[in-house]
Structure 1
Amino acid sequence: MNEIILDKIEIKNNRVDYFFSVNGRMQKYFKKENHMFLEYNYDIKDIPKSVLTIPFISNVIPLVWISDARILIDELDRNFFECLKNIKHAYQNMFPNIEFKGSLVVNEVVTNTYIPERESASLFSGGLDALTTFIRIKDKNPILITEYGWHENNVQFSKVWEADKNNAIQFGENYGLDNILVQSNYGTFIMGQEINRDFSKKLGDSWWHGLHHGLAIISAAIPIAFMLKIKCIYIASSNSPQYKVTCASDPTVDNEIRYASGMVFHDGYELTRQDKVKVVVDYYSDKKEIANIRVCFKNEENCCKCEKCLRTILGIIAEGKNPNDFGFSIQNNTSESIKTSLNYEVKFFTNTFINIYWVNIQNRMKENYDNVLYRDLLEWFLDYDFVTERKKTLLKYRTENFFPILKRKISQKVNRLFA
């Protein structure tokens, strides 16, 4: 029997640790310690275990479903327990090529309720999506929730987390808002690469992107949302219905999440990324403030060279604004430096990225042609053929790196044979 058993929950001050055991072939999907933790900037010792169990269940339940396994726990909040069938159904609709089965066995389903005292909390990375949602709900005075889920078994110093945290705290101070800070190993305690080997072909997506990250991020916020009696947790959309993609964070999933007397809302799904760029640059331009859009989630500052930085920079330029006023530094030879970076990064672009991001930027730049500040960009970017350039640079990359690529593939096959 493939099963996961939540053996023990330890709560000490501002931290909760989950210890679990795994039976059957499921063990290969977890680090050997079988341990997950969450650490907050609030004391959580008075939060009931039925609520504290929610983050653990959220992280492993998609794996249980696709593996036709079961998970055994002592207690769970009733509203969350009942919403899982709708979440499972939403995933099944999203991924029709794999059957979502499996089961959750709970000794006691506990009814938790409260009268909301705060209207909203908002997951806040400081990125474009998060800033757009903040602008849309700022009148609700949301508590800002910022997370880092890439620790191992304990909290370790991270320059990236320090930068994210300090940015969120400063942003909160600027607008008179409180901060919820969460640190965890939810991004590392599961062996995502092992799950991808077994399921990515059927899913047509990766474990983290397709099934894991949405529930992981949202559920980490739920215990504090319960404690502070928050009515609704807002999570900013990453995609839009303009170009349907599979994604763990989707309105059909997120909007089904319930816990005690709280709910979740997936915000801004009707907006394209370029729409969001316009929301943010118009808002800060009207306020005559310099904004700091943090899009490089693995760097302390925006590198201005990666795909995500490039599409944000060019999106801002397409709106007739200066990226230097929004957290980017592109002082000299702007057109040439962007072209050099784009020619390097384009080999990694997917058709989805090209269609939902880059074509929209080109179209907006054509619409707003007269207001574009960097005129030399217009000479080449409007006609830049992403598909053709991707093929050219990918061929060049594979030719120049033939032996390292071959060595890596052989090594991966050997590792799989002896795993």
Structure 2
Amino acid sequence: MNKIKLDRILVKNNRVDYYFSLNGKIQKYFNEKNNMFLEYNYDLSDIPESILAIPFVSNVIPLVWLTDTTLTVDQLDKSFFYCLTKVKQAYQRMFNKFEFKGDIKVNKIVNNQYVPEREAASLFSGGLDALTTFIRIKDKKPLLITEYGWHEDNIKYSEVWEADKKHVISFAEGHGLENILIQSNYGTFIKAKEVDADFSRKLGDTWWHGLHHSLAIISSAIPIAFKIKVKCLYIASSNSPAYPVACASDPTVDNEIRFGTGEVYHDGYELSRQDKVKVVTDYYSSNKEVINIRVCFKNEDNCCKCEKCLRTIFGILAEGQNPRDFGFEVPGDFSEYVKVALNNEVKFFTDTFIRMYWKVIQNRMRENSNYIKYSDILNWFLNYDFEGQRRKSLLKYRVTNFFPILKRKFSIRLRKILS
């Protein structure tokens, strides 16, 4: 039988380490050290163990349900413990072809009620979604929470994290707000590739996207939200009901999460991504404020050539604005650059992305054509055939990279045979 036991929570100043033991086949999904950690720019020593346990439970509970495992912890917050049933039900509805099992056993359930002293905290990356939520709740003077969860055994210098910190600290200072900064290994202490190998086909989604990331991100903020007595923790939406997709970050999941007296709100779900582009560009252009939208979360700056960068660039263009005014340093001839970049990247576009994002941008640019800053882009983009261009690009890619692709497939097959 699969078992996970949280053996010890060790707090030292602003860092908390979780040490756990494993029994059964579930051991294959974890790195050898059986340790998860979180480090904050706040002291943690006065936070109850029942609250500190929430991030660990949140990170492993989807795996518990996938693998029919029993998770044992000594103490857990009452509000959070009882919300888990609803979170599990939400996952079950989302992935209705797979039965979620497993259970959690808690020796002591603790009632951690408090009188809220701060109205809002917001998970803040500086990206389009987060900026939209900030604009919508800025009058609440939210605490801005930024996280980096990709450390491994310990914290190591990351240029990406340093760039993120610089950006969000500058943003907060400019608005008279306070930053909460969190570093962790929550993205690496579970072997996502191993989980995906066993479950992604059955679920139709990956571990990180479908089950893990939202609970990891939200729960890491909970100890500080509790310490500062926050009423509501906001997380910006990534999707919209116009194009429903299975995703760990969904209002049916996030809005069920509770801790102490605090709650979580999944903000902006009613808005499409293009709606959000309009919210952000309208706000900053009308206020004459300079803003850099952070899109490349694994790069120091926006690369201006990946799908997400290009999607945002074209979205800004469709609203009649100049992407260079929003942190996209596109070199050379703008129209020619984005056309070459799009033709190069389109081979990686999924049908869902084309439908959810790119066709919407095309339609918006068509209806807003009189206001487009780079009118020469209209000559080719309005009738750009995404599916046709994807086929051409894929064929060219496969012909050009035939032998490297063959070698990679052979290596993957060989590893599977040997394992």
- Provide Cα deviations, 1:41-100, integer angstroms capped at 9, x if missing partner: 000011011000000010010011011111111110010000000000000000011110
TM-score by length of 1: 0.99
Find the residue that maps to 1:380 and give its secondary structure.
helix
Give me the whole-angstrom Cα distance separating, in 1, the residues matched to 2:75 and 2:38.
18
- Provide Cα deviations, 1:386-418, integer angstroms capped at 9, x if missing partner: 111111111221222122112212222222233
Residues 1:372 and 2:372 aligned together: yes
Find the residue that maps to 1:33 and give its secondary structure.
coil
Residue pair 2:236, 2:268 contacting (<8 A) in 1 also: yes
Residue pair 2:29, 2:195 contacting (<8 A) in 1 also: yes
Counterparts of 1:38-49 in structure 2, within 5 Å, are 38-49=38-49
Tell me the number of residue pairs that the alignment of Structure 1 and Structure 2 aligns. Answer: 419
Give me the whole-angstrom Cα distance separating, in 2, the residues matched to 1:226 and 1:24.
34
Give me the whole-angstrom Cα distance separating, in 1, the residues matched to 2:358 and 2:255.
28
Give me the whole-angstrom Cα distance separating, in 2, the residues matched to 1:306 and 1:348.
10
Counterparts of 1:38-77 in structure 2, within 5 Å, are 38-77=38-77
Find the residue that maps to 2:336 and give its secondary structure.
helix
Counterparts of 1:8-407 in structure 2, within 5 Å, are 8-407=8-407
Question: Residue 409 of structure 1 corresponds to which residue in structure 2?
Answer: 409
- Provide Cα deviations, 1:153-198, integer angstroms capped at 9, x if missing partner: 2111001000101111111100000110000000011100000010
Give me the whole-angstrom Cα distance separating, in 1, the residues matched to 2:276 and 2:416.
42
Give me the whole-angstrom Cα distance separating, in 1, the residues matched to 2:4 and 2:409.
32
- Provide Cα deviations, 1:121-174, integer angstroms capped at 9, x if missing partner: 000000000000000000000000000000012111001000101111111100
Give me the whole-angstrom Cα distance separating, in 2, the residues matched to 1:3 and 1:391.
47
Residue pair 2:68, 2:100 contacting (<8 A) in 1 also: yes
Which amino acid in 2 is paired with 1:404? P
How far residue 331 of structure 1 moved from its aligned partner, in angstroms, is 4.3
Residue pair 2:331, 2:337 contacting (<8 A) in 1 also: no
- Cα RMSD (Å): 0.8
How far residue 210 of structure 1 moved from its aligned partner, in angstroms, is 0.4
Unpaired stretches in structure 2, ≥5 consecutive residues: none
Which amino acid in 1 is paired with 2:150? W
Using the aligned pairs only, state the percent identity: 67
Which amino acid in 2 is paired with 1:161? W
TM-score by length of 2: 0.99
Residue pair 2:77, 2:260 contacting (<8 A) in 1 also: yes
Give me the whole-angstrom Cα distance separating, in 2, the residues matched to 1:187 and 1:104.
22
Unpaired stretches in structure 1, ≥5 consecutive residues: none
Give me the whole-angstrom Cα distance separating, in 1, the residues matched to 2:417 and 2:175.
55
Give me the whole-angstrom Cα distance separating, in 2, the residues matched to 1:354 and 1:292.
25
Which amino acid in 1 is paired with 2:100? F
